[in-house]
Amino acid sequence: MKQLFTLLLFVLGSFVFGQNYSSTDPSPSLLPVHQLRIYEIPKENRQVFLDRFRDHALRIMKKYGFNIVSIWESEFEGKTEFVYLLEWKDENTMKMAWQGFMTDKEWKEIKVQTAKLHGDFVNNIEDRTLKLTEFSPKKELLK
C-alpha cells in the first residue's frame, strides 16, 4: 500500500507540475552545455580584435575542441561588444578546453605581441554557462 501511495504521488506530481519523465528524454547530464561569451572591446581596437580572433584565436581554439555555434557583434549601452556562443559535450570538457587554450604557448605569445602593438583589446568579459531546459525546442546544435 505504501508503494502504491508513493507511485500515486509521483504520477500526480508529474501531472500537476508538468514534468515529463519519458524514458526517451535524455538525462540533463547527457544534454550539451552552451557557453555565452560577451566581450566589451574598445572601439579603437575593434578591427584588430576581430582580426586577432579570426586569424589566431579560432585556429588555436579548434586544437582544443571548441565548437563555436555563432559569432556576433553588438552595440549595447554605447559599448562595442563581440559575442559568441559555444557548444560543449559537458562542463568538464568545457573547463579542460579553456584550460588548454589559456595556457597555449602560441596564444600567450600572440596576446603579448598584439598588446604591445595595440594596447588593451578587452575592457570586460561576461561568461555564462547555459544549460538546456527539458522544454527547450532544440536539444542540441551539434550535428
Alpha-carbon distances, residue 126 vs 12, 19, 41, 116, 122 (angstroms): 41, 32, 12, 24, 11
Cβ neighbours, 10 Å, residue 94: 20
pLDDT on residue 77: 93
Q: What is the CATH number of domain 30-131?
A: 3.30.70.100
Tell me the pLDDT band of 134, cut-offs 50, 70 and 90: confident
Amino acid at 135: F
pLDDT on residue 140: 54
The grid cell for 117 is: 602593438
List the chain domain ranges. Answer: 30-131
Is the pLDDT reported for residue 24 higher than 70?
Answer: no
Q: Which residues contact 69 (CB under 8 A, 6 or more apart)?
A: 34, 84, 85, 86, 87, 141
Tell me the pLDDT band of 2, cut-offs 50, 70 and 90: very low
pLDDT on residue 29: 62
Distance CA 30, CA 49 (A): 35
Tell me the pLDDT band of 20, cut-offs 50, 70 and 90: very low
Of 47-51, 62-66, 84-88, 132-136, least confident by mean pLDDT is 132-136
Distance CA 40, CA 54 (A): 17
